[in-house]
Every structure is written in C-alpha cells, then in structure tokens.
Structure 1
Amino acid sequence: MRRLGSVQQKIPCVFLTEVREEPSRKRDCQHFQIVATENVNPLALESNIDCALATEKLDGTCCYVTTYNGFTWNVEDDFKSVPDSWISAHRVQHENGHPVPDEHGHIPGWVPVENTNKQYCWHASVVNYEEGLALVLRPHPEDEDLLEIVSVPLSELMEQTLELIGTNVNGNPYGLGSKKHPVHVLAPHGILRVRNAPPVEYQQLYSWFQESHEGRVEGIVWHCNDGTLIKVHRHHLGLKWPTADTFLNSRPIVVHVDGARYNSEALTDPPKNLFSILSSLNGQHFNSIQGIQFEH
C-alpha cells in the first residue's frame, strides 16, 4: 500500500553558519539563532552549486511517499525512541544493522501518516487512500506562471519527497484557507523553479531577498547534479519571514480536481473532505492560492 510519511528533513546551509545567543527570528521559544557567515559552505562548492537547479523553499513540513510494509526498527537506548513503523531516510548510514547519526547527532526518518492519528490529520486530509490520490500544488504543465491544484495518483509520487503547506502548518505564512475551511496541499520538492536566481554570494543573495519580487520566499533550495541539496533561509541572513506579500501568493492558480469520484460527498452540506470541496471548484481560476473561495 502506498503511504504518506512525515519527518523534518535536515539540509545544510549554503553558507557556513554560527550560533548567536539572541532570540530566533524563526521560532518564538528559541533563545538563540543560526546565522550565516559570508563564507560559502565547502560542501556547496564540492557539489558545483553554480550549476544546480535553484527552487523555492516552501514553509511547511516534509513528507515522503513510499510503499508501507510495516518495517520495524529498534533504535539504541541513547537515542529518542521511535514508533515501530519508523523507517530511516535515504542516505542515512548504517553500521551493524543500526542507523548512524550525522555530524549533528540526527537520524532523520519517516513515520506513516494514519487517518486515525490526530497529530497527522492535516497530512491525511490531502490523501485519499481508497482512490490512491493526493492533492498536489504545482506549475501548470502548459504555463509555468500559472499554478494548479490537482489530484495526482500516489503511484506517480512514489519515492518522492513533498512539502505539506496550509492552514494549520507553521502558522500558515501563505494564508491558505480558514479555520472554517482549512486548505492543505502537497508541493513536490524542486517543483517551483527560481528563475533568474542570484549568484551564490552573500550580498547578492541578501539584496535578492530584500529587493526582488521573486525573492519574497522563505528561502532557496539548490538541487545539485550529484543529488546534494543545499539551502538558505531568509532568517540565516537576518531577514524577516514571513513577508507581507509572499511570492507564492502573486501567482494565479486553477483547480483541477475531478468531482466525478466525490459526487456523493459533494452533495452533503457541508462536504465531508477537502477533495469534495475542491471538486466543487473544478476548472475555476483564482488570482492566488490565498484567494480561493468556498461557497459552503
């Protein structure tokens, strides 16, 4: 069975960083912050970042689609306990059958998203396991400037990682939905290309985030040809996030969620799930994802 899993993914910063003992610009309860120096991370240079694909970093939570087979793992006593269904993320090294922590002491991994677990209810809202579908945000295949929300077979997302964004994720910096009508979608990593990306140089990146229309994003993730991912956050450069008007919300969007599968639910008042609600908007265009309006 194809399942959706959730985890926090660790990606190195494009610049070498240092810790400062002052309140974080990203987390209210964190009394220190990680800031970038002007020195490019050697890992980025080794991975030839100048030839990498620059993409928008979305502010959400990382997910992974794979076949769920009930894999069981026993972590050593000196690490945080994990659910029996936990599986390690790709690139985690193993020794003698046990996962090895990275240089920061982390062992990233995935846990399956279950419909019955309230902790993952918003993850579950974007997946219809009976139909094998997921709600995905991506550029329209015929117009890169136009976004679309579309129902995609989970089989097409196998072994991919995606970002869950929406009403109840990370303070909803994109203003999606409302308390009455929460909206969540999955965006495949690397799908939102940064056109005319700035060179990997501190001052030029700082100016791009400050002055460019396309720079009103949480950050950039570079996808290097050797498979390495490198990132930079606005807050690494001492800049505020979220911005008043994010770049994501400047892009028009169309809904392509076929209502045929959900007619029985679409007739209820209110509809039972997000698939049913969006199917009632099938084919409609909006000025932005924030501007999607529901009749119910």
Structure 2
Amino acid sequence: MRRLGSVQQKMACVFVPDVKEEQSRKRECQQFQVIATENVNPVAVEANVDCAHATEKLDGTCCYVSLYKGQPYLWARLDMKPNKQTEKRFRKYQHSHKTSQGWVPVEMDNKQYCWHSSVVDYLAGVALVLRPDSESEDLLEIAAVPLVDLVEQTLELIGTNVNGNPYGLGSKKQPVHALVLHGSICIRNPPPVDFQQLRDWFQESPEGCVEGIVWHCNDGTLVKVHRHHLGLRWPDGNTFFGGRPVVININRAVDEYNSSKDLFMLFSILNGRCFSQLQDIQFDS
C-alpha cells in the first residue's frame, strides 16, 4: 500500500499541458500560464488513472516531517528572499543535511515561519492535524498527532495567513492554522478523467468547489489538475472543504502549555466541541 504524502513522489498533469505567455492566475511573479489541452497525459493513461484514488488538492503551503537534531521536525519550503543572509542559511542546511531540496527545519524562534511553528509542539512531540474523523467519513477532526507518526510524509499547511485563507479559518485577531496530510481528503464521487466533464464538475457540483484534484494511482504515480489549468477561477465563492463539519479532539491539561495564546491550548478548551462548518471555529474571548 502506498504511503500517503511521501516526500519522494512527483506529480504530473493529468492532461497534456500547454504554456501561454500570459500572467499566471496562480503566481504573481510567473509571466506564463500552464493550461490543459483536452488530451489525457500518456503518463496518466499508463498509470490507469481511471481506477485511481481521487483526493482534494488543498490550497496552502507544502511541508514535510523529517529528523532534525535527533527528533522529528516539521520542515518548510524555503521562502527565498533576494538577500545574502537567506542564501547563506540555505547553503548551510544543504551542506549539513546533504540535500539540494529547498527545505528548512521549522524552529520555534524563527519568525519567518511563525505560522508553521504554531502547529507543532516539539516538547510534546505532536502536530496539529486536520483529518477525516475515524468514525464518520462526512466529519473532519482536529487532533494532536505524534510527529513520529508523520516522519517522511508531506502535508499542507492551511489557515488564516496562508494563500489568502480560502477556507475561512480563524481571523486576524486569532489566526488558526493546521496541517493536512497529502492524500487524506478523499473525493467520493469524482468525475471521469475527461476535459469537459471535469470542467463541468468544477463549475456545477458543490463538491467541485476545490482548488484541484490529485489522483493516486495504484503504481504510485500521482497526477493532478488545477482549476487554473481549465481556465477557471480560484477561489470562487465558498469552498467545499471550508463548509465541512469538524470536531475538536485535543485532550491535554491546560498547564502543559507555554502561553494562553498557544493554539494547542485554545483547541484543548474546545475539546469535544463540534462545529457545523470548518470556518465556524471560534474561541471564547
């Protein structure tokens, strides 16, 4: 069985891509657009994408969990700034971890990655994870998951201060962020891998109010499609994910926390509470 969120995996577009010299709808600094042709990618055909497991592509920033200083740490995509200090730090991590990937470990005193650090507690060895509830496929849960259980897996950080917060989590006064394991949010009734049927599904189905789909093929191949590839807007109204009900399962004593603003502590106060929508989560003032 394929392990969810493996950091070694790469993704291909489900349709043969074309490139237009126009401003990207997704990235401000990108002066070209990747669009989908109506031809299914031979890679997807060979991997039997029609029998693949379809999951929701979430709009956040990619992370993964790996060892650092002898214990599991959350790692973030390197946010490259055009200055010598950042380049020096990147080269240091490249050398010390013998990797050319653009990842840096999230340390608690690094303000550049403060939203990443809000979802991990290294002393307790846990991460704040948003995932399907084990007893109901319609329900999500927010839980404190041991970091050791997430080693060498990739996750998406979503929340108030990530990519414009399309899921409506938290507020400026009280930001809320969480990690979602890649491949964990299933699409139960996905459309066939056909250009027009996919486009219609994104536009007309309530479940199609998502940024994209990632298909997990039986041979380990990953293929994806974004709304942008089909010429569609994102976000476009309320999202399907943000409208899903969620239960809070963070059961820890208040005196275990470092601060009254600790996100783990705030969620522990709500332990057992169920909200009709993810975007309705509120903490008592």
Normalising by structure 2, report the TM-score: 0.85
Measure, in 1, the Cα distance between the counterparts of 2:271 and 2:188.
Answer: 29
Matched, 1:272 2:261: yes
Contiguous gaps of at least 5 residues in structure 1: 1-6, 71-79, 90-97, 100-106
Aligned to 1:67: 67
Q: How far apart, CA to CA, are the structure 2 residues paired with 1:246 and 1:153?
A: 29
Comparing 40-49 with 124-133, which one deviates more in the overlay?
40-49
The Cα of 1:50 is off from its aligned counterpart by 1.4
Q: Secondary structure of the residue that 1:236 maps to in structure 2? A: helix
Q: Which amino acid aligns with 2:197?
A: Q
Structure 2 residue corresponding to 1:229, chosen from 222, 227, 240: 222
Matched residues in 1 for 2:276 and 2:202: separation?
23
Matched, 1:286 2:278: no
Q: In 2, distance between residues paired with 1:278 and 1:142? A: 20
Counterpart residue number, 1:85: 93
Distance across 2 between alignment mates of 1:170 and 1:41: 28
Map of 2:42 onto structure 1: 42
Q: Is the 8 A contact 1:86 1:112 kept in 2?
A: no
Q: Deviations over 1:131-179 (max 9, x none)?
A: 0000000111000100110111111112211110001111111111111
Q: Matched residue of 1:250: which SS?
A: coil
User: 1:23: how far off?
Assistant: 2.7
Residue pair 1:83, 1:111 contacting (<8 A) in 2 also: no
- 1:18 aligned to 2:10? no
Matched residue, 1:164: 157
Partners of 2:176 and 2:91 in 1: CA distance? 28
CA–CA separation in structure 1 for the residues paired with 2:275 and 2:125: 27
TM-score by length of 1: 0.82
Residue 263 in 1 paired to residue 255 in 2?
yes
14-23 or 61-70, which deviates more? 61-70
Kept after mapping to 2: 8 A contact 1:253/1:289: yes
- TM superposition shift of 1:29: 4.3
Q: In 2, Cα distance between the equivalents of 1:293 and 1:33? A: 38
SS of residue paired to 1:144: coil
Q: Is the 8 A contact 1:255 1:282 kept in 2?
A: yes
Measure the CA separation in 2 of the matches of 1:108 and 1:208. 35
**Count of paired positions:** 261
CA distance in 2 between partners of 1:53 and 1:256 (Å): 27
* Runs of at least 5 residues in structure 2 that lack an aligned partner in the other structure: 1-6, 71-86
Deviation of residue 31 (structure 1)?
3.4
The aligned counterpart of 1:140 is 133
Pick aligned residue for 1:194 from 166, 187, 195 = 187
String of CA shifts for 1:175-213, please: whole Å, max 9, x gaps: 111111110000001110011111111011111101111
Q: Which amino acid counterpart does residue 271 of structure 2 have in structure 1? A: N
Counterpart residue identity of residue 280, structure 1: I
Contact 2:243 2:279 survives alignment (8 Å): no
Amino acid at match of 1:292: I
Give the superposed CA RMSD: 2.4
- Give the superposition deviation at 1:121: 1.1
The percentage of counterpart residues that share the same residue type is 63
